[in-house]
Amino acid sequence: MKKAHRYTFLCFLSFSAVLALTLAMSGCSMLGIGGGAAIRLSSSPTLPAVEGRAKFNATKNNNTRITLTLKHLPHPEKLTPPANQYIVWTRAAKDEPAQNMGSLVVDKNLNAKLETETPLHTFELFITAEGSGQIQQPFGEPLLWISYNR
């Protein structure tokens, strides 16, 4: 093979490898695998200013680690009707019972964060405003939500 053709061929292979790696990494990020970027949560019109993001990672024991970060989240007692807690829920499907994953504590800057794990790989995650953090099923309407499929 001529030197010029070999150089062009090697450049093409290098470019192809970089492109393939970039596409693979961006695909993993979109799925929340392997430390990718956080995914924005959908929000109810009752909370238009809230910015919610979720990051999903597989754990060593095959669970799904969830990291939620919220900004501009009003204190639950400021809602109409007022509530005492924001509760994070997961469920495998709409007709399945939801599992209480924990409550969000809103700080003085209207930010909240929660890190938790679930054994589910495909699930809906949603946040409601509730009167108590100890409840076993959601009573409030979903205020923020996202579907995840590992």
Q: Could you please report the per-residue DSSP string of 49-107?
A: T-EEEEEEEE-TTS-EEEEEEEESPPPGGGSSS--SEEEEEEESSTTSPPEEEEEE---
109 and 43 within one domain? yes
Q: What is the pLDDT of residue 149?
A: 95
Rounded Cα–Cα distance for residues 147 and 135 (Å) = 22
44 and 14 within one domain? no
Instruction: Count structural domains, the chain.
Output: 2
Q: Is the pLDDT of residue 129 over 70?
A: yes
Rounded Cα–Cα distance for residues 43 and 49 (Å) = 9
Rounded Cα–Cα distance for residues 114 and 135 (Å) = 18
pLDDT band at residue 20 using 50, 70 and 90 as cut-offs: very low
140 and 92 within one domain? yes
121 and 47 within one domain? yes
Q: Is the pLDDT of residue 126 over 60?
A: yes
Running DSSP on this structure, what letter comes out for residue 48? T
135 and 67 within one domain? yes
48 and 27 within one domain? no
Domain that holds residue 99: 39-149
Q: What is the mean pLDDT of residues 113-130?
A: 97
Angle at 11 between CA 8 and CA 14, to 5 degrees: 150
Provide the residue count of the chain.
150
49 and 6 within one domain? no
Q: Is the pLDDT of residue 82 over 80?
A: yes
11 and 56 within one domain? no
**Which of 17-26, 54-63, 68-77, 120-129 is predicted with the least confidence, judged by mean pLDDT?**
17-26
More confident site: 11 or 93: 93
Contact predicate 100/91, CB 8 Å = no
68 and 16 within one domain? no
pLDDT band at residue 14 using 50, 70 and 90 as cut-offs: very low
93 and 74 within one domain? yes
- Read off the amino acid at residue 90: T
